[in-house]
């Protein structure tokens, strides 16, 4: 079975997402430098995958071995969660919803890893995610 279909079946098992029949986004392998440019505004960062919030392409670091490395496949699963969220319009809705979507994706990724008997801490950045305070913006 195609990797995308397998990962989507995991997402549907581990979450409340509704199954989508015969539908997978393109999983495009790209250079790490391209991911840094797109996902990190050109700054050096540890990004391994990125979904831009709309469309049917998930971008993954071409250094990853999705077929043989459980953590790497979990990164692809995380980005597929974002693709499903994007299909619902949840990612670009507002800052708070985007942070909630990130938490959800990391939670499903963590469950996936645990189901395979592996504990790997993912999502350490989530507690630091904040939306700008609108009141302090208006005072400036």
pTM of the model: 0.86
Residue 137 has pLDDT above 60, yes or no: no
| pLDDT tens per residue across span 92-134 | 678 888 889 999 999 999 999 999 987 777 876 776 677 876 5
d(CA 137, CA 139): 5
Query: What are the E-state strand segments in the chain?
Result: 26-30, 49-50, 57-61
- CB atoms under 10 Å from CB of 77, counted, come to 25
For β-strands 57-61 and 49-50, DSSP reports them as antiparallel
- For residue 15, what is the DSSP state? S
Count of CA atoms in the C-beta half-sphere (13 A) of 84: 27
């Amino acid at each position: 079975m195609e990797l995308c279909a397998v990962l989507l079946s995991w997402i549907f098992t581990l979450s409340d997402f509704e199954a989508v029949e015969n539908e997978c986004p393109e999983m495009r392998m790209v250079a790490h430098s391209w991911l840094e440019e797109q996902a990190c505004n050109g700054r050096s960062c540890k990004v391994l995958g990125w979904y831009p919030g709309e469309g049917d392409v998930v971008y993954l670091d071409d250094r990853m071995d999705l077929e043989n490395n459980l953590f790497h496949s979990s990164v692809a699963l995380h980005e597929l969660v974002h693709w499903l969220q994007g299909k619902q319009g949840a990612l670009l809705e507002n800052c708070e919803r985007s942070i909630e979507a990130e938490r959800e994706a990391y939670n499903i990724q963590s469950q996936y890893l645990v189901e395979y008997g592996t504990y790997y801490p993912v999502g350490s950045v989530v507690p630091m995610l904040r939306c700008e305070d609108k009141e302090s913006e208006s005072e400036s």
